[in-house]
Amino acid sequence: MFAETVTDIAADLRARRYSSAEVTEHYLSRIAELDPALNAYITVCADQARADAARADALLARGEGGPLTGVPYANKDIFCTRGVRTSCASRMLDNFVAPYDATVVEKLSAAGMVMLGKTNMDEFAMGSSNETSWYGPVRNPWDRERVPGGSSGGSAAAVAARLAPAATGTDTGGSIRQPAALCGISGLKPTYGRVSRWGMIAFASSLDQGGPMALTAADLALLMNAMAGHCSRDSTSVERPDEDYTRLLPQSLAGLRVGLPTQYFAAGLDPALRAVIDAAVEQLRAQGAVTRPVELPHAAFAIPAYYVVASAECSSNLSRYDGVRFGHRCEEPRDLDDLYTRSRAEGFGDEVKRRILVGTYALSAGYYDAYYRKAQQLRRLIQQDFVTAFADVDVVLSPTTPTTAFEIGQKTDDPVTMYLSDIYTTAANLAGLPAMSVPAGFIEGLPVGMQLIGRYFDEARLLNVAHQYQQETAWHLARPPRT
């Protein structure tokens, strides 16, 4: 009875086939039924969602509202929401209720969307498996013994299991694209600066970027129309005119130049994964695209450079959690120093502490040049590689991840192996480029994602390629078992 995509639900609401109250109730009951096994949500806002849906229905009844009015969605629990706890999946913020809405939340509310709840994630967005959450791991809807990816794993699992038609995510090194790939949905990391970071809890400020996650590229385009835009409260927000991200969706792929990075298709790429990506490339060729190899000579250094930059910035950003003004405070501190050090020791989990320590070390006197400066120099070389590649091609295509979803617990004891999950995704963050993951097939019942990286501010082109691909394939509509 109810449609599953944002685009179709929006059309049904306008046609009054059902009300926002009805479709909201539908998702709330699915969450109540399925989420205890998946743990995709940290907080469900049933009462608020019902009130928002009633407001949306009143607008729709008067023929008012916008294209997204009345459509339910979920927010990653990293976006501040006035009156609803924002935990960032950390014990540190277990009791934190923001006194304001993040710009993204404010914009989606203004568009009339109905927030179902706040989704689970890796603690402070640090992780690739959603196992570092204070609220426990999220389970992949395709195989509940496996991880959904991270850090936006709750958002990805919620969309895949149809516990929300769309969700927000954030992507610092792949945290929208990697879980989108492992859960079989579509996700877009916009160009750095395109979506406001205000009210989005900071991890690594020069890399963090919010974006939409949904089943289809057309849905992502609609969400981007509401989410993106200049924000005077974010000093790194880019001043550019607003654009219609749906405008290129119908465009043919004839003549599209697709670059295949030699380094990403080298030996070491799993043959089964390669076969899936090759088939996707063949499909794009059948639709008129031409492919050519491109060189990203510094690709192998993206992860080392990323972990230095991200850890350094995280050690600085997370120094604000001092147990004084908000967040966790230890019991009966002996003195101020004890208050700081014990509150932080108790409030942060293992992975967060590890990264703060790595970042503190990399920034400490005597080591700055060897680590942080070196990483920033590599960052420039990585960016230049892409600038060179984009002289000859319109988009760069690769797998999103090196493997399908792995088992819960498999990589938790080995931080470096876990970091390698992001081998294809971190470069786009270092360079600030837009990138997305598109469902491209399955290996033994587990989804595979294809990554598309675009030129700066070329999100509409990425969405065009993904949408045209989705007109000829159905991977993005596959539904996990028992959902």
Partner 1 sequence: MSIGAAEIKGIARLARIAIDEADIARYAGQLSQILSYVEAMNAVDTTGVEPLAHAIDAIAVTRPDAVTEAVDRAALQAGAPQVQEGYYLVPRVIE
> Which of 251, 287, 291, 376 is in the footprint of partner 1 by CB under 8 A?
376
Query: Do 159 and 4 meet the contact criterion of CB atoms below 8 Å apart?
Result: no
**Tally of CA atoms within 13 A in the half-sphere of 419 that contains its CB:** 18
76 part of the active site: yes
Q: How far apart are CA 342 and CA 91, in angstroms?
A: 13
User: Given the rule CB under 8 A, which of 4-12, 116-124, 180-188, 343-351 is the region that contacts partner 1?
Assistant: 343-351
Q: How far is the CB of 166 from partner 1 (least distance, A)?
A: 26
> Which of 18, 96, 265, 442 is in the footprint of partner 1 by CB under 8 A?
96
* Residue 268 lies near partner 1 (rule: CB under 8 A): no
Query: Do 125 and 90 meet the contact criterion of CB atoms below 8 Å apart?
Result: no
175 part of the active site: yes
* Residue 379 lies near partner 1 (rule: CB under 8 A): yes
User: Given the rule CB under 8 A, which of 17-25, 123-131, 176-184, 348-356 is the region that contacts partner 1?
Assistant: 348-356
* Residue 434 lies near partner 1 (rule: CB under 8 A): no
Peptide linkage before 151 cis (omega within 30 of 0): yes
* Residue 55 lies near partner 1 (rule: CB under 8 A): no
> Which of 78, 201, 308, 450 is in the footprint of partner 1 by CB under 8 A?
308
Q: Which of residues 177-216 bind partner 1 (CB under 8 A)?
A: 191-193, 206
Query: Do 315 and 360 meet the contact criterion of CB atoms below 8 Å apart?
Result: yes
* Marked catalytic residue, from 19, 90, 133, 151: 151
The side-by-side arrangement of strands in the sheet containing 166-170 is 41-44, 114-119, 72-76, 166-170, 210-214, 186-189, 435-443, 446-454, 395-399, 257-261, 290-294
Displacement of CA 18 from its chain's centroid (Å): 30
Q: Bin 332: left if φ > 0, else alpha if -120 < ψ < 50, else beta.
A: left
Query: Do 138 and 39 meet the contact criterion of CB atoms below 8 Å apart?
Result: yes
* Residue 380 lies near partner 1 (rule: CB under 8 A): yes
316 part of the active site: no
Residue type, 262: T
**Tally of CA atoms within 13 A in the half-sphere of 70 that contains its CB:** 32
* Marked catalytic residue, from 129, 133, 175, 421: 175
> Which of 1, 15, 254, 416 is in the footprint of partner 1 by CB under 8 A?
416
> Which of 59, 361, 402, 412 is in the footprint of partner 1 by CB under 8 A?
361
* Residue 378 lies near partner 1 (rule: CB under 8 A): yes
* Marked catalytic residue, from 19, 20, 76, 152: 76
**N- to C-terminal Cα distance for the chain?**
15
Each residue 438-457 as x (binds partner 1 by CB under 8 A) or -, in order, gives: ------------------x-
Q: How far apart are CA 187 and CA 439, in angstroms?
A: 9
> Which of 4, 18, 285, 333 is in the footprint of partner 1 by CB under 8 A?
333
Q: How far is the CB of 314 from partner 1 (least distance, A)?
A: 11
Query: Do 325 and 453 meet the contact criterion of CB atoms below 8 Å apart?
Result: no
Residues in the chain: 483
Q: Which residues are near partner 1 by CB under 8 A?
A: 95-97, 99, 191-193, 206, 232, 235-236, 238, 298, 300-301, 304-305, 307-308, 315, 319, 322-329, 333-342, 344-345, 348, 353-354, 356-358, 360-361, 364, 371, 373-381, 383, 415-416, 419, 430-433, 456
Residues with active-site annotation: 76, 151, 175
